[in-house]
Amino acid sequence: MVNRIPFPQAGLDEPEISSIMKLESNADVDWRGGRLPGFYVHFANDEVDRVGKAAFERFHATNALGPSAFPSIAKFKADLVGWALSLFHAENGAASVTSGGTESIFIALKTARDWAKVNRPEVTRPRMVISHSAHPSFDKAANYLGLEVVRIKPRSDFRTDIDALKSALDDQTIILAGSAPQFTIGVYDQISELAAFAESRNIWFHTDACIGGFLAPFAEQNGHQIPPWDFRVKGVKSISADLHKYGFAPKGASIVAFSSAEYRKYQTFEFDNWSRGRYITETFAGTHSGANIAAAWAVMRFLGNEGYCGIAEQIWRVREKLIREIPRIEGLFIYSNPELTVMSYGSNTQNINDIAAGLAQNGWYTVTPSPTPPAINLGIISLAFGEVVDEYLNDLRDIIAQLKAGDTFFDSSLLGSYGDQQAKGT
């Protein structure tokens, strides 16, 4: 139950509003200080942040629903999707800018469902089969779209169990998907094998690269080995990739891309059976801000390929330090073999919840550990974290030592959450 609050009778002046907002923000996590390892805020540097904010402010009143009224936003959007298709190696593709990864996945699944209505007319109960490691957005989208979801347990290395996946298929399966990389453990699913199998069965295949889509191309250019994931892989029909993650654009901005422009007809919603006439959208939202699009364009144009490659290498060095140093701490280990910058670690000797609580008590925003497997997620999403990574590792060593001594209790109530837990029951 949400409490009713009387609507304010009188307005406040700007200094009062600013003062209240500053006071309220004091309780927010210190993301600029790097105290937010693994969640919520992607940050490259102060220059990039400033460029994005300036563009956001300049175009704050624009409405991307009206490209004829705001041709600037249409131009920025065309550039963004063109750049994405180039990075993802699409020969004859199409793409759209969305509000985030959840909407990108939603649009990909909606397109796949409507594609199947034409290309798989025998299907009456459309199904999707995915690994247990796939993001919850797949189930969220399926809930809206009327798709049945089957999740299968992964292999011991946390990649998709392809044999189990094949056994779970039936003649109603229209969608398969893989993560590049997974949100939790950080490994890539076997995109090449999965996409080839999907194509052999006339099944739509989606690569979820919401995390890695705007980091992997530059890491690969830097000489790092990245598993195949994009449109160079035969059978990949759609990709989701977030501009507001490693594209470092202000939230919310993402790309949903398709291997062929032919799929656009299954993506678009068009309607004219009302008094106003023709109405057409390519994403879920009607009215949506052009500021996100303009800000993403400004950041990408500011950095360019060289800038992104430089940031990717900075992030990679932080990744290597964590992979090297965490297992040197008594009882800790990194799960599997993370292939980009997302990883999770566990403990053979201590309760992982106690370790997480210790980190939270030391001022590191740490979410409740993953239950399967018991792990602390540590995505390197911010170079601000790179500035304090040694401090994080030192605190982690001290916490393990205190827990080993057995005379310390850490308050688990300080742990954060992934998702809007306060929405429950409202």
Identify the CATH assignment for 51-300 out of 3.20.20.80, 3.30.230.10, 3.40.50.300, 3.40.640.10.
3.40.640.10
* Weakest-pLDDT range from 8-12, 27-31, 422-426: 422-426
* Confidence bin at 426 (pLDDT 50/70/90): very low
Q: Which helix (H) or strand (E) holds 165?
A: helix 162-168
* Residue 153 DSSP one-character state: -
Instruction: Kindly state the average pLDDT of the residues 399-425.
Output: 75
* 37 closest CA partner among 398, 393, 382: 382
Task: Give 330-341 as a DSSP string.
Answer: TTEEE-S---SS
Both structure tokens of 10: 């009188």
Distance (Å, rounded) from C-alpha 100 to C-alpha 146? 21
User: What SS3 state is found at 357?
Assistant: helix
Q: Inform me whether the pLDDT recorded for 94 exceeds 50.
A: yes
- pTM for this model (two decimals): 0.94
* Structural domain spans, the chain: 27-47+305-414, 51-300
- What tokens were used for 397? 């060593």
Task: Report pLDDT digits (tens) over 134-159.
Answer: 999 999 999 999 999 999 999 999 99
Alpha helices in 281-351 (DSSP H): 291-325
Segment 272-276 mean pLDDT: 91
Residue 197 clears pLDDT 50, i.e. is over it: yes
The answer to whether residue 243 scores a pLDDT higher than 90 is yes
Chain segment 278-328, per-residue pLDDT in tens = 988 999 988 898 999 999 999 999 999 999 999 999 999 999 999 999 999
Measured CA distances, 27 to 23, 245, 365, 421 (Å): 8, 24, 12, 18
pLDDT exceeds 90 at position 418: no
Report the C-alpha gap between 111 and 239 in whole angstroms.
12
Tokens of 414: 């300080």
Indicate if the pLDDT at residue 425 is higher than 60: no
Does domain 27-47+305-414 correspond to CATH entry 1.20.120.330? Answer: no
Residue 271 reports pLDDT greater than 60: yes
Q: In whole angstroms, what is the distance from residue 214 CA to residue 391 CA? A: 28
DSSP 381-414: -BHHHHHTHHHHHHHHHHHHHHHHHT-----GGG
**Is 37's pLDDT higher than 80?**
no
> Given a cut of 90, is residue 422 above it in pLDDT?
no
The answer to whether 238 touches 258, Cβ cutoff 8 Å, is yes
Task: Give the pLDDT confidence score for residue 419 in this predicted structure.
Answer: 60
In the predicted model, is pLDDT for residue 76 greater than 70? yes
For residue 373, whether the previous peptide bond is cis, meaning omega lies within 30 degrees of 0, is yes
**What is the C-alpha to C-alpha distance for residues 361 and 414, in angstroms, rounded to an integer?**
7
